[in-house]
């Protein structure tokens, strides 16, 4: 955990050539640092944008910068803080940060700005974690989920459940002075109903959530099929350039090639693989096919290409390794006469006939692909919330505790009920960041990027 007596500084944008690089700082020395470095005649006014020349401690001008001072508590961290925009040369930014350290600032640790915001009460832990997930989001759904958390939606849910559990605890504790015979049956049923309502809401959140570690991994789509079926041509079409070599000679692709692409606001890792067939003695080609099979095992989804202008093979390579629910079969070269009827083969698979010469093929294929992924729940539905492993574990622990309590409700002592309910509240408070262990918080924020 950082020492709040210190002022920290770090780049908030990547250190690479660009129009601007943004540096941010936070801590009690912020205003004085700006006044000294920019040779201001008076202390900077809060939330005023200034232009000035940054002077090193030796008096050398390092750059012309735009800078702003933020007065506590009206800042991201809740502390006095500042932002400096310098020209987008990494060396200039490095020199400014080095000079700031000469003046007494310290380099910020990963996530330290957000950690200070959390510890200063500017946000709870679910909101702080949403900052990182928003930055690393790989899809529109993740961005939407992160913004919902950042706005405090999840915080209000958790607070509501905690308040309901506290109400139930108070009700149970009030009944401890009475014998079981004195407590009406309808009152016990009312308490069970209240507990079940909390469980149902909690279970609803969990069932509509996805684990973020899996979400942050791009969904992998492998293009698979026999040699010369049009795999590389399709790959280049989806990528948007001639990334993969295309030739009329079968077996041009000997290894897999991958690119990250975006289709209708969804991000995928697309893989062009070596052609599969059953009769090869070429050791290089065999090695390429083995890699194709490995890609198949690791893929979330498969585009299996079959040339409809060629004879349908008696045995399709690797078809037994492919899940129909995760495969879209594309019969290619539909602009040429068909040698077989695609409708009569591969029963149980979703099929589509395509020609890469069709000017609308990209839009048609993209729409079919996204619809198929949604229908088979490979893509998350609208409204999905993405939770980190820490968050999901805590909510599932609460769910399990309350379910066990509901099963035993009325058959064990109220003292036990109260004890289990307090455990559940404690878990919910940990979700919000009420940890007594500083190392736990340090571990959480260490996964953030520097400057955030």
Q: How many CB atoms lie within 10 A of CB 212?
A: 24
The helix or strand, by DSSP H or E, that contains position 373, with its residue range, turns out to be: helix 361-375
pTM higher than 0.85: no
Q: Hey, what are 64's tokens?
A: 């012309």
At residue 59, the pLDDT reads 95
Chain centroid to Cα 53, Å, comes to 39
Q: How many CB atoms lie within 10 A of CB 320?
A: 7
Cβ atoms 226, 306 nearer than 8 A: yes
Per the DSSP assignment, residues forming a β-bridge with 26 are 8, 81
Question: What is the Cα–Cα distance from 260 to 322, expressed in whole angstroms?
Answer: 22
Question: What is the Cα–Cα distance from 421 to 172, expressed in whole angstroms?
Answer: 10
Question: What is the Cα–Cα distance from 163 to 160, expressed in whole angstroms?
Answer: 5
Per-residue model confidence as pLDDT tens digits over 10-33: 999 999 999 999 999 999 999 999
438-445 vs 125-136: helix axis angle to the nearest 10? 20
At residue 284, the pLDDT reads 62
Q: Hey, what are 278's tokens?
A: 């059953």
Three-point CA angle 388, 299, 143, nearest 5°:
35
Cβ atoms 33, 25 nearer than 8 A: yes
Strands 61-70 and 8-11: unpaired
Best CA proximity match to 327, nearest among 265, 375, 396, 266: 375
- The stretches of 45-152 forming alpha helices (DSSP H) are 90-102, 112-119, 125-136, 140-150
Per-residue model confidence as pLDDT tens digits over 202-261: 988 887 776 555 544 678 888 888 888 888 889 988 888 655 444 444 444 445 788 888
Best CA proximity match to 25, nearest among 91, 89, 101, 137: 101
Best CA proximity match to 351, nearest among 336, 380, 372, 375: 372
Q: Hey, what are 118's tokens?
A: 């959390």
Question: What is the Cα–Cα distance from 134 to 341, expressed in whole angstroms?
Answer: 48
Reported as half-sphere exposure (CB side, CA atoms, 13 A), residue 266 has a value of: 21
Best CA proximity match to 440, nearest among 449, 448, 430: 430
The label of the residue with tokens 């801590």 reads 27
Residues of the chain with pLDDT under 50: 1-3, 186, 215-216, 244-254
């Amino acid at each position: 955990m950082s020492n709040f007596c210190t002022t920290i500084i770090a780049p908030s944008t990547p250190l690479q050539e660009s129009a601007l690089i943004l540096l941010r700082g936070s801590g009690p020395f912020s205003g004085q640092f700006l006044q000294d470095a920019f040779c201001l005649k008076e202390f900077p006014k809060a939330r005023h944008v200034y232009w000035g020349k940054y002077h090193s401690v030796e008096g050398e001008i390092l750059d012309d910068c735009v800078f702003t001072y933020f007065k506590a508590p009206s800042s991201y961290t809740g502390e006095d803080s500042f932002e400096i925009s310098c020209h987008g040369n990494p060396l200039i930014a490095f020199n400014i940060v080095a000079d700031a350290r000469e003046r007494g600032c310290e380099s910020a640790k990963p996530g330290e700005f957000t950690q200070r915001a959390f510890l200063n009460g500017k946000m709870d832990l679910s909101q702080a974690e949403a900052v990182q997930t928003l930055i690393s989001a790989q899809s529109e759904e993740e961005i939407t989920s992160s913004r919902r958390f950042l706005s405090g939606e999840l915080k209000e849910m958790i607070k509501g459940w905690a308040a309901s559990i506290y109400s139930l605890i108070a009700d149970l504790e009030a009944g401890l002075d009475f014998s079981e015979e004195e407590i009406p049956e309808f009152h016990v049923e009312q308490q069970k109903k209240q507990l079940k309502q909390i469980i149902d809401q909690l279970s609803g959140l969990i069932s509509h959530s996805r684990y973020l570690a899996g979400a942050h991994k791009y969904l992998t789509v492998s293009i698979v099929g026999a040699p010369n079926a049009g795999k590389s041509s399709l790959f280049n079409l989806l990528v948007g350039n001639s990334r993969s070599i295309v030739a009329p000679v079968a077996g041009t692709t000997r290894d897999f090639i991958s690119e990250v692409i975006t289709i209708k606001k969804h991000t995928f890792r697309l893989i062009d693989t070596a052609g599969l067939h059953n009769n090869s003695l070429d050791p290089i080609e065999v090695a390429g096919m083995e890699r194709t099979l490995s890609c198949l095992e690791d893929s979330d989804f498969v585009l299996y290409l079959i040339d409809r202008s060629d004879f349908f093979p008696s045995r399709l390579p690797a078809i037994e390794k492919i899940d129909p629910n995760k495969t879209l079969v594309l019969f290619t070269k539909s602009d040429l006469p068909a040698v077989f009827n695609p409708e009569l083969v591969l029963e149980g698979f979703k099929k589509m006939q395509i020609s890469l010469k069709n000017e609308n093929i990209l839009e048609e294929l993209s729409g079919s692909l996204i619809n198929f992924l949604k229908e088979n729940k490979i893509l998350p539905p609208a409204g999905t919330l993405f939770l980190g492993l820490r968050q999901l574990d805590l909510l599932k622990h609460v769910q399990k505790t309350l379910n066990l309590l509901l099963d035993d409700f009325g058959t064990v002592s109220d003292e036990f009920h109260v004890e289990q309910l307090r455990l559940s509240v404690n878990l919910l408070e940990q979700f919000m960041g009420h940890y007594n262990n500083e190392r736990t918080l340090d571990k959480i924020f260490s996964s953030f990027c520097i400057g955030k």
